[in-house]
Structure 1
């Protein structure tokens, strides 16, 4: 009984400390759009002596935890690399497990009172949705429809996604628009307007974080991060990523914002 009481007290103190830390961070500039390459689920699973799908399941819990932190900080939009088009080349067992996991978690997250509902988060699933199994496409349509009325924040779940495909699609749409309007040429602004995140109404990316220590973008949001976005790398595997790993990213963002010239 005493150990249980001590544990509850420790949890209470930790929660209060987290509340205080978030309040301090909110007092400074907060990025309005944060993107995550959720990398390291499979290596995490091997380290924990788990099967691969359990690593991905723990990764979804890390997404829930990180999204909660972002909402409490006042981040307006979160984009995550949930499944790359290239991931279809993995073993059929792993792909099937990921699709089933996505189906279950999307259904769960959109229940009344769940995270998206509580924080007024609109869900966008961006990418080649036509490549998803029909049952997952059905869940995606329901989830997007159920959150259409939410207007306080946005979660862009990028699956199946690739920046090269995103850019090619945006260029094709711009060409179609130009032909329809007899425009003499295609502008950068026209292509930018058709890029998936912009077309979904998201603000520009301020910070992109990749976990697991790997230092590359892996074909994720390359158009969106080519100019002003700050790119950060964390050594933690995604399922282990938490507030204390996010704090240095936020402090570095705030330091750079404060250090930027007034007319920049």
Structure 2
């Protein structure tokens, strides 16, 4: 099964899609693809076959998203918690991942045609080395594609992602790239695995479970969250339309919440800058009063310097992450 299914929508589907697209459409949709194992049990098939059906459904769903002008999709493919499952199931999932990433490399022309960029988010060091290398090949092969994006969360949990982002900022302080006072909510967002993507507009979980299971907790704080009872392998175009309609009904309140949050972040940063500058002026001015103009100039200068430090740090962080994938690519080429 291809990563992207070819084919057009039928007449009724096209008609429905055009009606939906007359309203605000989500640009980034995230899926918790739950229900593969329950589907397998219902069909009296092996658990791994249920996961294979789940991948096939993802390929079909990506086709629907393409026709609905949804530019980015993020999926929860394998949680760090999944390593606690039986060895046979974990080994089977690793084999399935190998098979699908090999398939992806075989259909590079198709992915290039559609401009699909594949990103894999998570701690890949937990995976077998050969699978890490396959993933690195897939990521680097599609890196320049920019029409649509598929983010595969593999060996991932949100708490681990946030913890890792804190470690990255601590590394930046240790390296002298940033100061402890530069650490902020905005900077933490830039250190997440998902830093190259806008936050999801819509998060969908299938199977009837009404929890997020440690998926994109930071990124979906102002997203529309839809829980649907259908098992993932049975997901349909109409289920997706239903979720989009719910997003449209919530659109105004979502945008208002996001605008308020951006304003709050900006005010927080301004207040943090003022506190640092006030302390610096007091220290260097020996307690003497500082006029308003000098205070404003100092504040502007500090904000400029902070932004330069942060950008230098983010470039260094990107280089560190790119080096990981490039190193795996080089190991593969030498093998």
Q: Fold match, TM over 0.5?
A: yes
Displacement after TM superposition at 1:261 (Å) = 7.7
Length, aligned pairs only: 249
* Contact 1:71/1:119, CA 8 A, preserved across alignment: no
Please name the residue that 2:165 is paired with: 170
Please name the residue that 2:213 is paired with: 218
Give the direction of change, closer, same or farther, for the CA distance of 1:74–1:194 in structure 2 (3 Å limit): same
Which residues of structure 1 form unaligned runs of 5+?
A: 1-11
The structure that is helix-richer by fraction is: 2
Which secondary structure state, in structure 1, belongs to the residue aligned with residue 150 of structure 2? strand
Displacement after TM superposition at 1:127 (Å) = 0.2
Give the direction of change, closer, same or farther, for the CA distance of 1:177–1:118 in structure 2 (3 Å limit): same
Deviations 1:100-153 (A, max 9, x none): 111111222341344x33421100011011111122112101111221121111
Q: 2:230 aligns with which of 225, 236, 239?
A: 236
Q: Which has the higher contact order (CA 8 A, sep 6+)?
A: 1
Please name the residue that 1:38 is paired with: 33
Displacement after TM superposition at 1:206 (Å) = 0.8
Question: Residue 192 in 1 paired to residue 189 in 2?
Answer: yes
Please name the residue that 2:115 is paired with: 120
Query: CA–CA distance in 1 between the matches of 2:138 and 2:69?
Result: 23
* CA-based RMSD: 2.0
Question: Residue 133 in 1 paired to residue 133 in 2?
Answer: no
Which residues of structure 2 form unaligned runs of 5+?
A: 1-6, 261-335
* Contact 2:224/2:254, CA 8 A, preserved across alignment: no
Deviations 1:49-74 (A, max 9, x none): 11000000000011111111111111
Displacement after TM superposition at 1:239 (Å) = 0.6
TM-score of the pair, normalised by structure 1: 0.88
Give the direction of change, closer, same or farther, for the CA distance of 1:14–1:182 in structure 2 (3 Å limit): closer
Larger CA Rg, structure 1 vs 2: 2
Please name the residue that 1:48 is paired with: 43
Q: 1:249 aligns with which of 240, 243, 249?
A: 243
Query: CA–CA distance in 1 between the matches of 2:55 and 2:122?
Result: 19
Which sits farther off after the overlay, 209-218 or 23-32?
23-32
TM-score of the pair, normalised by structure 2: 0.70
Q: 2:179 aligns with which of 169, 180, 183?
A: 183
Query: CA–CA distance in 1 between the matches of 2:11 and 2:113?
Result: 21
